[in-house]
Structure 1
């Protein structure tokens, strides 16, 4: 204990102790919160019985007083420090025993000895923190002199003193834990209230017990009115059952929660909202809480629906144009029978272009073609129909067929539609002799797609890249995450596209 002795306050045996250090230690242990603690009262009761003494105390010595956290057989809850026996006991290495205070020069004139209390016998066990800082003493007091303590009593008092220190340590740990939790909760609430999203949390069973300020601002609901299951009442009636179903599924499986629904605004209107939630788990993987957000997506939802309407209308008009052109070709061929084979071939090409249009325009879930292409070769065969000759295939597809999904179909169709269009204008399909071979190869986890033109006019690399080349690069690198390389050989363009298999199909 000599490491904390200093030159501030004198004590009875001539040592001095840094009271600033001790005051900090006492505050750190949150000792004041243990005053009249029931567990400590049991300790002083037992100490008094063990030593057959009328008084037992748990005393904490402060700068100007000693405070009794627990007392048996004594009325006052504190006394001045200058009269404290425990101020001396706490700096001892072992139990301090005073057989007769009247004969001890340290205490002979002490008011607690000469006055009404009449202390004669005192025995105190030092209470020292883990850092070696003396805090006070567990003591027993009698009003008549005694020879001392038995070995059994000394051992028992030390055990009880250890229990007191454990209680003080537990109090400190609990206080620190409570302070940490309170600080963490305060930070969370401050962060949540500063977010533009509505933030909420639930217990593991889904009981909603917290919403941030933004939630109440958006909904106009009184604080606490949407706790528990009350949140579902402000969903649009048509969305309530669906929202409940998705939420129950997440609670049962622990899967992330995500759903779009209409939430009633404070002005009475319903606005589209994106709800998300993730579970918080402990080290054992058990869910301890759900943290969720609600994001107002009303404007984005309306804009998306408007774009969908425009896209469908535009697609409808374009397909009508193909149908009108095909009809005009058929009508013209009726008056010129000698052109009927050519007209029939041209009509098939126009009709196939209309079918291919469904693959090269962006789609939503509603506008996607009824017959989905689930393989690379299936998509390419449908896409290349307008460019095939009646008597022979101008574009052949070979190699390994691989599955594709809705995510990759559009960029693939855009890419190969652009290559076929360019080949028709400038490359191998611009004359009657040229042809194109498309080969798909599996290279580990990647797919290599090779576009090879043969028999067309000599080609050369353009000085500048037009929109078509940019579209090819956008489809291959940006949307599919792959690479595209052009080889402008004189005998025919060669394009190599490399993408991962995962980019073509989620499966």
Structure 2
């Protein structure tokens, strides 16, 4: 019987002892299909069954014992002891009678039993006179054969009580072995169906799907892999085959990333080029996730390969355009700075203003180059930007400026107002504060308080510490940059050693 999904439903409880088979399952039309479901060919001369028949013969002091299976036309000895023949014709079978009973069938003297007196196995070899057979009945109630012993000498007293009980115990052991074999077949069939479903599912997805064992050796590719690479289906799915279509320039990085994932048991991700069936190289992203057992050990890897070549090339085009724009913007900063100085050359009264404005423009240029560089190393961290902006004053331990504290993510939009803020602070300090004296020092520290980043500017060794009488353009610029562009706040304090400034800026404002 099968359930709605096609899976064989097998009764789990054994057939009750001393109960005759189900009459509805005694006919061959019903019995034989059930018998076929055991797949008994692989159990011929099975070691466990052989031990059972040998013990049955010793227990009953008989020269011969067999596990007999009744098919349509033959009686087949699945296990045997004391007999060379592998089978006999079903028409002469004693076990065919025994399997229909509700208990052990005992024939004290076959020559005196009208059912068997003229049987060829009685009148001829092996000249059976005494027979005892315990019926083999499946959990559904279908008779399939018998565990029997027989002798060429009649036994008027039949079996002893212990022998009869022992034969039933051995009969039950035979059926447990047969049922175990059937469960294995059903389990294998279910596994095969699951694998076929998984294969069909894997073949239906547009990406390449793969699987690897715990050691990282690839053992499965879906249909898409063969279509994409043009490799023959007969080519074994292994690591060597896979890497044969990976670009040589990407092999080392791929292997390093894969080895790292295997060692750590963490998900794998790497971009590399794969040769398509038409010979072109296309960028793909490989991803893999490990499957862990209850002990946490990796038992399997599953993953995909996704063609990202179009997006990769679009990204390269955008990067090329961005670099070109960055180069032109940087040139604009240089041109504007040059124009300011050029225009002020004949206007002495504007010289100081022009120099200050030129320095501010150059600071913007440095900030722009930090977040949108022409090279490959792009900055995205606030301390890095501060190091760039403060570099003209000397950065690091023992220098005039020291930057310390937490790592803070920095976005492109926030870099410009921050460049103006710290350029203004540094310029004022160089004119009037700590940076105007050789022994003066500035410390810039970064800290986090919840979702807010605190940036402290502390000067020591400034001359005089005089508080400005009025707020100038620089102070206005600072307030506007902090409040309007970064949605933050600023506190100033003039001490005897110099200016102290605290900026409180939302982390999300710095990250964009």
* Fold shared per TM-score above 0.5: yes
CA contact (8 A) 1:200 1:211 kept: yes
Match of 1:413 in 2: 414
Match of 1:313 in 2: 324
Query: Equivalents in 2 of 1:338, 1:504: separation in Å?
Result: 41
Match of 2:98 in 1: 88
Aligned mate of 1:322, from 324, 333, 355: 333
CA contact (8 A) 2:406 2:447 kept: no
Per the TM alignment, residue 120 of structure 1 is displaced from its structure 2 partner at its CA by 3.0
Match of 1:214 in 2: 224
Where 1:302 maps in the other structure, the secondary structure is helix
Per the TM alignment, residue 55 of structure 1 is displaced from its structure 2 partner at its CA by 3.3
CA contact (8 A) 2:49 2:174 kept: yes
CA contact (8 A) 2:341 2:358 kept: yes
**Structure 2 stretches of 5 or more lacking a match?**
1-14, 391-403, 422-445, 456-470, 472-484, 489-503
CA contact (8 A) 2:22 2:141 kept: no
Aligned mate of 2:200, from 190, 209, 219: 190
Match of 1:234 in 2: 245
Per the TM alignment, residue 416 of structure 1 is displaced from its structure 2 partner at its CA by 6.7
Where 1:126 maps in the other structure, the secondary structure is strand
Q: Which moved more, 1:187-196 or 1:148-157?
A: 148-157
Where 2:345 maps in the other structure, the secondary structure is helix
CA contact (8 A) 1:112 1:119 kept: no
Query: Equivalents in 2 of 1:167, 1:416: separation in Å?
Result: 81
Question: In structure 2, do the counterparts of structure 1 residues 182 and 328 end up closer, same or farther at CA, with 3 Å as the change threshold?
Answer: same
Q: What does the per-residue CA deviation read over 1:300-331, in whole Å, with 9 as the maximum and x for residues that have no partner?
A: 22211111110011011112112111110111
Is 2:374 aligned against 1:373? no
Aligned mate of 1:357, from 339, 346, 368: 368
Is 2:188 aligned against 1:178? yes
Match of 1:43 in 2: 52
Per the TM alignment, residue 140 of structure 1 is displaced from its structure 2 partner at its CA by 0.8
Per the TM alignment, residue 161 of structure 1 is displaced from its structure 2 partner at its CA by 2.6
Question: In structure 2, do the counterparts of structure 1 residues 364 and 19 end up closer, same or farther at CA, with 3 Å as the change threshold?
Answer: farther
Per the TM alignment, residue 163 of structure 1 is displaced from its structure 2 partner at its CA by 3.3
Where 1:97 maps in the other structure, the secondary structure is strand
TM-score, normalised by the number of residues in structure 2 = 0.66
After the TM superposition, which residues 80-229 of structure 1 pair with which residues of structure 2 at under 5 Å, given as runs? 80=90, 84-89=94-99, 91-92=101-102, 94-104=103-113, 107-108=115-116, 111=119, 116=124, 118-129=127-138, 134-146=143-155, 147-222=157-232, 223-224=234-235, 227-229=238-240
Match of 2:307 in 1: 296
Per the TM alignment, residue 248 of structure 1 is displaced from its structure 2 partner at its CA by 2.7
CA contact (8 A) 1:207 1:229 kept: no
Q: Which moved more, 1:123-132 or 1:165-174?
A: 123-132
Per the TM alignment, residue 334 of structure 1 is displaced from its structure 2 partner at its CA by 0.9
Query: Equivalents in 2 of 1:60, 1:77: separation in Å?
Result: 9
CA contact (8 A) 1:197 1:294 kept: yes
Q: What does the per-residue CA deviation read over 1:138-163, in whole Å, with 9 as the maximum and x for residues that have no partner?
A: 11122332122245544543443343
Query: Equivalents in 2 of 1:7, 1:192: separation in Å?
Result: 47
**Structure 1 stretches of 5 or more lacking a match?**
10-16, 384-399, 421-439, 456-471, 477-483, 486-495
Matched residue count: 416
Q: What does the per-residue CA deviation read over 1:370-406, in whole Å, with 9 as the maximum and x for residues that have no partner?
A: xx63459959x969xxxxxxxxxxxxxxxx97531xx
Query: Equivalents in 1 of 2:340, 2:36: separation in Å?
Result: 96
Query: Equivalents in 1 of 2:385, 2:275: separation in Å?
Result: 48
Query: Equivalents in 2 of 1:290, 1:122: separation in Å?
Result: 58
CA contact (8 A) 2:367 2:415 kept: no
Per the TM alignment, residue 40 of structure 1 is displaced from its structure 2 partner at its CA by 2.5
CA contact (8 A) 1:260 1:273 kept: yes
Question: In structure 2, do the counterparts of structure 1 residues 365 and 304 end up closer, same or farther at CA, with 3 Å as the change threshold?
Answer: farther
CA contact (8 A) 1:90 1:137 kept: no
CA contact (8 A) 1:90 1:135 kept: no
Where 2:411 maps in the other structure, the secondary structure is helix
Match of 2:67 in 1: 58
Query: Equivalents in 2 of 1:504, 1:67: separation in Å?
Result: 81
Question: In structure 2, do the counterparts of structure 1 residues 244 and 403 end up closer, same or farther at CA, with 3 Å as the change threshold?
Answer: closer
CA contact (8 A) 2:199 2:222 kept: yes
Question: In structure 2, do the counterparts of structure 1 residues 172 and 323 end up closer, same or farther at CA, with 3 Å as the change threshold?
Answer: same
Is 2:414 aligned against 1:403? no
Query: Equivalents in 1 of 2:294, 2:347: separation in Å?
Result: 82
Query: Equivalents in 2 of 1:132, 1:275: separation in Å?
Result: 54
Per the TM alignment, residue 109 of structure 1 is displaced from its structure 2 partner at its CA by 6.3
Where 2:410 maps in the other structure, the secondary structure is helix
Question: In structure 2, do the counterparts of structure 1 residues 183 and 309 end up closer, same or farther at CA, with 3 Å as the change threshold?
Answer: same
Query: Equivalents in 2 of 1:130, 1:499: separation in Å?
Result: 70
Match of 1:458 in 2: none
Match of 1:263 in 2: 274
